[in-house]
Chain A
């Protein structure tokens, strides 16, 4: 699997918050896409409730995943394509390496795909001596910069045009310009050569349709269309959950996917791929391989609390409304998937204890669910993860929280059950707080062990007279 740095969430989040350029970029992104997507849902002939229907479709597909995958596989094989089922990230990567080796592949052009980030495809191909070129403009920029994507749809959102200009001068040898059309043209020129020379193209899968026997890829740039048309070999990587039964269901999912991803009614290119080039065709790959990836998804499937997460189509609409993502940026999440979707799916894929800060960092405000093109209840699953962190869970190998935390909460629960005792403690605290450092009527620092509360904010002091006291007096 690729690098996982979920442990650095707090550290990275601090860095993100302190970065004014990133904050400005994120706020303009959220302003545009957050609102645009909500508007696009409202303009649907069926209204935003179409998301509820989509949720049902996705749930039914997940419940019949075995049958749908078998149907898709039979059709693709019938059309001369290969289908490989990978239990782990390593299996998927090894299969691709083997295909590359057999076809003497030296240059791979990649369409943007988060699942290939998840399995760590690029470093493995590079280690095998194969040149890998990301072709989505945003991915290409961050590959040249040696960074990682910070947004599922807009991977280079954290880069300014000035940074990109410097990067292109250094890596592509162009005359310096900060004009986005000119920069795009420079990348277009460099990547066109790569497309024409590549031996293998790789892509993700936005959604597959079992009935018709096709996978589909959606892009605005046309890079995926290039990568699946010109090279001799096409390898598509698909999370095993990305499938629906029939075209009428697919139609609903695609419409919502385009709206959720970029507030569009339709992406510029959608390709339905059912197999390799046929005899008589002038273009298209000689070989088509579909790699269906489990890599921890069957464990999510087996848990009724988290099965709903497999309805996700990775449109990234939740990133564009999340107040936490909007401040800390995508790199803080330490894995391929960022934002609210990452806060749920990353702990489930990489270990709940290891990625515990991700689900604890979200606010539970519910904006993600309102924005979700598939109406997934992300806040519910964030809470379920926190519950597992508190009490432990053998199935997910979660260690329960420390004894001290348990004792503290038990003490608290005992305290708030007695009104009089509670008020006494409040009185004592109200008297004691005068000893704490204050500024402009706000408490600057709390004493240990609760000092964390005031690490990055000032607290309002307790009032002299509580609401209950005033209520009683009123009567």
Chain B
């Protein structure tokens, strides 16, 4: 893969740094080979977090959501989460077309909400984004992806879950997986996310400690595309006036289910 240009680039770099131009230097010392004492302490703290601690984190999350116009609602269970989502679908009007439709991830938590039935009562179609069959062949694969994207574009609300939520900055964290396209949280005018209380972490430090050193998350790591989403899309490019909905969703609603573990 390395070309002569690339070698020259690195030779110039090493020369500028005062090293031998042709010798690749060892990288090991720059990267931690295991968790630090601080990391371990943090992981331990996360593991032992009590229900009351989690409730405090949730309150922090709700507060952090306010200034960025992220609506954080705590709901007790799946049924309450489902009615909350359905209420948003009923209340809001589509931005681009006339008819209402909703796109949602194929995701264990979203599946358990029972949205399909509830939305059918409102006569609002639900489009689930199924994983693409990697063995279907290139053309099939592309046709299916285009069909799925068209559905997402036609939907005015996108429903997703998330991997984590950072309380201090009100940030949803999503790692990329088949069946969970990031456009569902991006292209529709309104993004609705559902998480469980145990997915709330304090801050980025905790998040990275988990992703780097907790065996439950480490194998997947950050995936090939990890998203942080903190509230609705915004801009202040016209005379520094804050406007929501520049390109991404104009509204984000986050429902946190308190009596359920993920």
Which residues of A does B touch, CB under 8 Å? 25, 28-29, 32, 63-71, 77, 79, 84-87, 91, 135-138, 141, 154-157, 159-161, 164, 180-181, 183-185, 187-188, 191-192, 195-196, 210-212, 214, 220-223, 225-226, 229-230, 240, 245-248, 250-251, 254-255, 265-284, 292, 294, 298-299, 301-302
Residue A85 contacts which of B5, B133, B145, B248 (CB distance < 8 angstroms)? Answer: B5
- Bound-state Cα–Cα, A226 to B248, Å: 8
Q: Are A65 and B239 in contact (CB under 8 A)?
A: no
B211 contacts chain A at the CB level, 8 A cutoff: yes
- Bound-state Cα–Cα, A276 to B223, Å: 11
Which residues of B does A touch, CB under 8 Å? 1, 5-6, 8-10, 12-17, 19, 24-27, 30-32, 64, 68, 96, 129, 131-134, 145, 148-149, 153, 168-169, 171, 176-179, 181-183, 186-187, 204-205, 208, 211-212, 221-241, 243, 245-249
Looking at A225, A240, A265, A268, the one whose CB has the most chain B CB atoms below 10 A away is A268
Can you give 21 contacting A-B residue pairs, CB < 8 Å? A29-B240, A32-B240, A63-B17, A66-B25, A68-B27, A70-B10, A85-B9, A137-B237, A154-B237, A183-B238, A229-B186, A248-B32, A250-B208, A251-B208, A269-B228, A272-B228, A278-B176, A282-B148, A283-B148, A283-B182, A284-B181
Pair count A-B, CB < 8 A: 244
Q: Are B224 and A180 in contact (CB under 8 A)?
A: no
Residue A248 contacts which of B19, B183, B186, B208 (CB distance < 8 angstroms)? Answer: B208
Query: For residue B179, which residues in chain A have a CB less than 8 angstroms away from its CB?
Result: 280, 282
- Bound-state Cα–Cα, A77 to B246, Å: 33
Q: Are B238 and A164 in contact (CB under 8 A)?
A: yes
Q: Are A268 and B245 in contact (CB under 8 A)?
A: no
Q: Are A210 and B30 in contact (CB under 8 A)?
A: yes
Q: Are B248 and A294 in contact (CB under 8 A)?
A: no
Query: For residue A79, which residues in chain B have a CB less than 8 angstroms away from its CB?
Result: 224
Residue of B with least CB distance to A80 = B224
Residue of A with least CB distance to B179 = A282
Residue A299 contacts which of B5, B16, B171, B247 (CB distance < 8 angstroms)? Answer: B16
Residue of A with least CB distance to B189 = A188
Query: For residue A32, which residues in chain B have a CB less than 8 angstroms away from its CB?
Result: 240
Query: For residue B68, which residues in chain A have a CB less than 8 angstroms away from its CB?
Result: 268
Task: Give B152 Cβ to nearest chain A Cβ, in Å.
Answer: 8
Query: For residue A229, which residues in chain B have a CB less than 8 angstroms away from its CB?
Result: 182-183, 186
Q: Are A220 and B233 in contact (CB under 8 A)?
A: yes
Q: Known: A154-B237, A280-B131, A282-B179. Is A246-B32 also a contact (CB below 8 A)?
A: yes
Residue of A with least CB distance to B234 = A220
